[in-house]
């Protein structure tokens, strides 16, 4: 079966510090990978998605970037965090076929102080 | 994506079937019904999805009316771990250029011991 791992679960970082969140998927090959940010409540904002190694699509230009160095690895980064980067970050994958659903990781709660 | 309407909250006795309704009267012919749930501070968990036929998996059953304007998610034997916010989402299949996902208000299901 497929599993998705996302870490760390929580992170407190000072303003201006760098960020690296990592996500890996097991049990599948060539998945579509996603980074979302969930605002307080329910709203999901799509940040980046990738359909293959080195292929990154950005939905919202902002202080973040993403990379996919390996087929099942997706990294969310920032060179200098802003207070507004605080939030709940979710990695997700799907098989890319038909109506296949998104499967989410357990998320990273980022607090920028 | 079609708008969905769900009751804000429901209670269900442990061991009984939990039936969660969702209205989606403006659904289009190519839109699927997806169900997710989210436990506080965790990532959303995919439950089930369908187009027009009833669906069943190890977690739940999805009953879609013949006119597709409403559906019901059934958790056959609710346990305390099923306490969560349940989201009904109606959208076309995910695909390149169509990767956004929006959660509505959902139904807060509380399982009563």
| Tokens 């305390």 -> residue | B80
8 A C-beta contact, residue B65 and residue B71:
yes
Q: Tell me the mean pLDDT in the region B5-29.
A: 96
Q: Does A86 touch chain B (CB under 8 A)?
A: no
Question: For position A3, what pLDDT does the model report?
Answer: 92
What does the block give as tokens for A25?
Answer: 């998927």
Q: Tell me the mean pLDDT in the region A7-27.
A: 96
What's the longest Cα–Cα distance across chain A?
42
- Is B94 in contact with A105 (Cβ distance < 8 A)? no
What does the block give as tokens for B25?
Answer: 């009267």
SS3 content of chain A, % helix, strand, coil (to 5): 5, 55, 40
Number of A:B CB contacts under 8 A?
56
Question: For position A61, what pLDDT does the model report?
Answer: 64
| Tokens 């009904």 -> residue | B88
Question: For position B99, what pLDDT does the model report?
Answer: 76
| Tokens 């791992």 -> residue | A5
Of A42, A99, A102, the CB nearest to B105: A42
Give A60's Cβ-side CA count (13 Å radius).
14
pLDDT digits 0-9 by tens, B35-79: 999 998 899 999 999 999 899 999 999 999 999 999 999 999 999
The distance of B31 to chain A (nearest Cα, Å) reads 10
Q: What is the C-alpha separation between A99 and A72, in angstroms, rounded?
A: 20
Question: For position A42, what pLDDT does the model report?
Answer: 58
Q: Tell me the mean pLDDT in the region A24-37.
A: 94
Residue A43 pLDDT level (bands cut at 50, 70, 90): confident
8 A C-beta contact, residue A15 and residue A112:
yes
Q: Which residues of A touch B29 (CB under 8 A)?
A: none
Average pLDDT, chain A: 92
Q: Alpha helix (H) ranges present in A2-110?
A: none
Neighbouring-strand partners of residue B50: B33
């Amino acid at each position: 079966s497929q599993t998705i791992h996302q870490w760390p679960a929580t992170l407190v970082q000072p303003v201006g510090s760098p960020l690296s969140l990592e996500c890996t998927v097991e049990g599948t090959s060539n998945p579509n990978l996603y980074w979302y940010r969930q605002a307080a409540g329910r709203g999901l904002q799509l940040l980046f998605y990738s359909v293959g190694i080195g292929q990154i699509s950005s939905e919202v230009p902002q202080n973040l970037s993403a990379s996919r160095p390996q087929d099942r690895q997706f990294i969310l980064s920032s060179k200098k965090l802003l207070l507004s980067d605080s939030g709940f970050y979710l990695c997700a994958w799907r098989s890319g076929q038909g109506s296949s659903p998104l499967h989410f990781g357990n998320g990273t709660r980022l607090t920028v102080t | 994506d079609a708008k969905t309407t769900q009751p804000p909250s429901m209670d269900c006795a442990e061991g009984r079937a939990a039936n969660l309704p969702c209205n989606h009267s403006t659904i289009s012919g190519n839109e699927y019904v997806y169900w997710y749930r989210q436990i506080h501070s965790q990532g959303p968990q995919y439950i089930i999805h369908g187009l027009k036929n009833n669906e069943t998996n190890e977690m739940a059953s999805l009953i879609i009316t013949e006119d597709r304007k409403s559906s019901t998610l059934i958790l056959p034997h609710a346990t305390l771990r099923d306490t969560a916010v349940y989201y009904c989402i109606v959208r076309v299949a995910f695909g390149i250029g169509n990767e956004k996902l929006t959660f509505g208000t959902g139904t807060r299901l509380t399982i009563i011991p």
